[in-house]
Amino acid sequence: MRVVVQEAPFDFGVEAAAFAEGRAVSGAVVTFTGIVRDVDGGLQAMEIEHYPGMTESALTDIAAEAKTRWSLEDALVIHRHGRLEVGEMIMMVATAARHRKDAFEAAEFLMDYLKSRAPFWKREVTADGADWVAARDEDEDALTRW
């Protein structure tokens, strides 16, 4: 299991290939990558802050929980911080399991957690200034299914 919080961009292809390589007993590897998107047409960048140490610990704990709940063989979580431009990759989740259902559900669980509970603070930067992103009800609701 690997958890990485970094400012630098990551190479999705390299990370996905390295994660999937040599999986003799895994029947499924699921990957997901989140991208900074401009929903309303005015976003210039996303600024993401976190507390080093605390963030990694929280992500490690939730990845370990996913690994146990879904009998995962492995999990990977990469999340960036700092200033990210529209179109840049912000995060990646990968899960490996004997069966695809476990890999898919665990990946969804991790994504839902990262979206609503992970200790990151996000600020949207537009031509009018910067505003902190508030928690959305639908993101919180997504966690209730787990």
**Ramachandran angles phi, psi of 3, nearest 5°:** -125, 130
Cα separation, 99 vs 90, in Å, equals 27
| Domains of the chain, start order | 2-145 (3.90.1170.40)
Token pair in block for residue 18: 């390295």
Which residues, listed in sequence order, are joined to residue 5 by a DSSP beta bridge?
Answer: 79
CA gap 32, 104 in Å, rounded: 10
Digitized pLDDT (tens) for each residue of the chain, 146 residues in all: 999 999 999 999 999 999 999 998 999 999 999 999 998 889 999 999 999 999 999 999 999 999 999 999 999 999 999 999 999 999 999 999 999 999 999 999 999 999 888 999 999 999 999 999 887 778 777 777 88
DSSP 72: -
Q: Which helix (H) or strand (E) is 62 found in, with range?
A: helix 54-69
